Amino acid sequence: MAPAATHPGTSAAVREPLHTTPAAPLDAVVVGAGFGGLYMVHRLREAGLTVQGIEAAGDVGGTWWWNRYPGARCDIPSLLYSYTFSDELQAEWRWSEKYATQPEILAYAQHVADRFDLRPHFLFETRVTSAVFDETAKLWRVKTDRGDEIAARFCVMATGCLSAPRDFDLPGADTFEGETYVTGLWPHDPIDFTGKRVAVIGTGSSAVQSTPLIAEQADQVYVFQRTPNYSLPALNAPLSDEEVAGFRANFPAYVELLRSGQPPLPIPPADYVPSDEELNALVEQLWNGWGLISAVQIPNIVRDERCNQAAGDFVRAKIARIVKDPALAEKLTPRSFPIMTKRACVDTGWYETFNRDNVELVDLRETPITAITPTGVRTTERDYPVDVIVSALGFDAMTGALLRMDIRGRGGLSLKDAWAEGPKTYLGLAVAGFPNLFTVTGPGSPSVLTNVLTAAEQHVDWIMDAIAHVRTTNAATLEATTDAQEDWVAHVNEEADKTLFPRAASWYMGANIPGKPRVFMPYVGEGYKLHCDAVAAEGYAGFALGS
Ligand code: N01
């Protein structure tokens, strides 16, 4: 049997279960101590409200607490992957690299928790099992796997978009007798691959980041690829004092743009049609080191065939130049979906890794996996005996963390049933039938298509205003109306249909999880913050206040 090596855990906390009674409810429960949950708890505390945070991990950090695989880094620049709510925090934290490593990002989350004294307001190593709306008391009743029973007026799900890792669930996986590691649940102690034969299954960002480092240690690495991905070079480097000073000088203007709902980076207008020369120059920048940011500078890259094709062709040509064996280069070349319709990877040495003698690509389009065996991976062609399997199969994205809890609103309606055909929200912030429940970066909001950290800040600020509105109007509840939700879902779909996104079998579409409804989950339209602000300014249009 494979060892239970996938759950790092820390020693179980010994504590008495927490019980709050409906007679003395808390103001809020916040689920999750990632960047959204930390800021939510901070804002609630600052407003003088009582709050209990709950987190399954052993400490703060969310995805950065769990994803400790070698090479894990952010894929947008660290300077932007930072909170904007505190000038002091911004001024005192110094990122060391253009793209920070997982340990540094985790240290940042820990620093935030210390600086704003947030840890005492969380229960760690505690998983929410159910959250049920009590219609009589107009309270959320939240239960955990540690026996806690908490009553609170508001329930905020800050559970993250990529926080429910897919199990290593290929046929025969539990028969494997070697070591198995899931990238999204990586152990805390470093894994030594020296002298080992390793199978990496999957070629998304997690595999793209980890494989080059695993290959430096291991004897042999087999990479099992179902669909080749587009990857852009990180060109990672230490951040100079000049770069940091430049960012700090510009920080107030950057924050001003964010707060005013404008894109914080210059994005070409939707009606801009570049000449061939301009397009070629923009496409060249994909290899100049700004990765995903360079990609979104290409006008309408996810809307216009010509612009998309130019960018895709450029990356395909680069792969052909980097990978020495032309047949292998072709296998690594993405052709089946438009660039950026799955999140592109940002790598350090991904394509170069395939020039190594100890790395072999197994193309699953030619020879699919038939089983995991006690000794390795079996395809239709042959057995690959290995000592270690690294499962990089991704996440049940955007809805997985929410649906793994039993969330029930009015009339006992379960979120699972309400979302049986795909997630339905109003603004990605609220769900009809679930009063006083908010989702931070929920489906139906831009979340994963933008800087998810500043997206979480925007949501938390909006939720705080909404909670204040309920309190100042002496209402009991705020609830999205079904009509407003249906209109919003239709608008989200309409915007997605104007793009090339639906052409890819991506996790944005739920396509990576067997049986999951295929719906484009994030909001890809423009002016999202302005829309949220207008809803609030119009007295929470599309919401009903309950007494
Ligand atoms: O997961 P993925 P990920 N047999 O879903 C393959 C963020 N992230 O963890 O494409 C064989 O992208 C699947 O193949 P296919 C980032 O937003 C960020 O790598 O479905 N293979 C694919 O190759 C990212 O987009 C960073 O055909 C199977 C892979 O598994 C998101 O998280 C780092 C299979 C899954 O790739 C997810 O990335 C890491 C099967 N049965 C992650 N089923 C940063 O840089 C699936 N696959 C910040």
Domain assignment of residue 60, yes or no: yes
394 CA from centroid of ligand 1 (Å): 4
Amino acid letter, residue 191: I
Token pair 């831009």 is found at 446
pLDDT digits (tens, 9 = 90+) for 460-491: 999 999 999 999 999 999 999 999 999 999 99
205 CA from centroid of ligand 1 (Å): 6
Domain assignment of residue 442, yes or no: yes
Number of other CB atoms surrounding residue 243 within 10 Å? 15
What integer pLDDT is reported at residue 289 of this predicted model?
Answer: 79
What is the chain's percent helix, strand, coil content, to nearest 5?
A: 35, 20, 45
391 CA from centroid of ligand 1 (Å): 10
Distance CA 197, CA 387 (A): 5
- For 45, which DSSP code? H
380 CA from centroid of ligand 1 (Å): 22
Distance CA 421, CA 416 (A): 9
What integer pLDDT is reported at residue 77 of this predicted model?
Answer: 95
Collapsing DSSP to helix, strand or coil, 193 comes out as: coil
Ligand 1 atom with least separation from CA of 76 = 48
Q: Whose CA is nearest to atom 41 of ligand 1?
A: 170
Distance CA 113, CA 62 (A): 12
Low-confidence ranges of the chain (pLDDT < 50): 1-12
Question: What's the whole-number average pLDDT of the chain?
Answer: 95
Q: Whose CA is nearest to atom 16 of ligand 1?
A: 205
Domain assignment of residue 197, yes or no: no
533 CA from centroid of ligand 1 (Å): 34
Number of other CB atoms surrounding residue 127 within 10 Å? 15
Domain assignment of residue 429, yes or no: yes
- Our mutation pick for probing the ligand 1 site, out of 98, 162, 206, counting the most ligand atoms within 8 A of Cβ, is 206
Which pair of tokens denotes residue 71?
A: 């090479």
Domain assignment of residue 385, yes or no: no
Token pair 């790395």 is found at 359
Domain assignment of residue 430, yes or no: yes
Q: What angle do CA 529, 547, 27 make, to 5 degrees?
A: 65
- Strand 179-182 versus strand 388-391 pairing type: parallel
Collapsing DSSP to helix, strand or coil, 379 comes out as: strand
Collapsing DSSP to helix, strand or coil, 91 comes out as: helix
- H or E segment to which residue 56 belongs: none
Token pair 């070698």 is found at 70
pLDDT digits (tens, 9 = 90+) for 158-198: 999 999 999 999 999 999 999 999 999 999 999 999 999 99
What integer pLDDT is reported at residue 3 of this predicted model?
Answer: 32
Residue 334 near ligand 1, beta carbon < 6 Å: no
Distance CA 346, CA 184 (A): 17
| Phi, psi at 346, each rounded to 5° | -125, 115
In the chain the first and final C-alpha atoms are separated, in Å, by: 56
Domain assignment of residue 83, yes or no: yes
Q: CB-based burial of residue 390 (10 Å sphere; 0-12 exposed, 13-18 middle, 19+ buried)? A: buried
What integer pLDDT is reported at residue 394 of this predicted model?
Answer: 97
Distance CA 364, CA 165 (A): 22
Which pair of tokens denotes residue 235?
A: 């060109």
Q: How many residues does the chain have?
A: 547
CATH number at residue 60: 3.50.50.60
Number of other CB atoms surrounding residue 166 within 10 Å? 21
Collapsing DSSP to helix, strand or coil, 292 comes out as: helix
Residue 343 near ligand 1, beta carbon < 6 Å: yes
Give how many domains the chain has, as a whole number.
1
pLDDT digits (tens, 9 = 90+) for 399-434: 999 999 999 999 999 999 999 999 999 999 999 999
227 CA from centroid of ligand 1 (Å): 10
Domain assignment of residue 143, yes or no: yes
Residue 508 near ligand 1, beta carbon < 6 Å: no
What integer pLDDT is reported at residue 13 of this predicted model?
Answer: 55
Q: Supply the range of the domain harboring residue 36.
A: 12-164+397-476
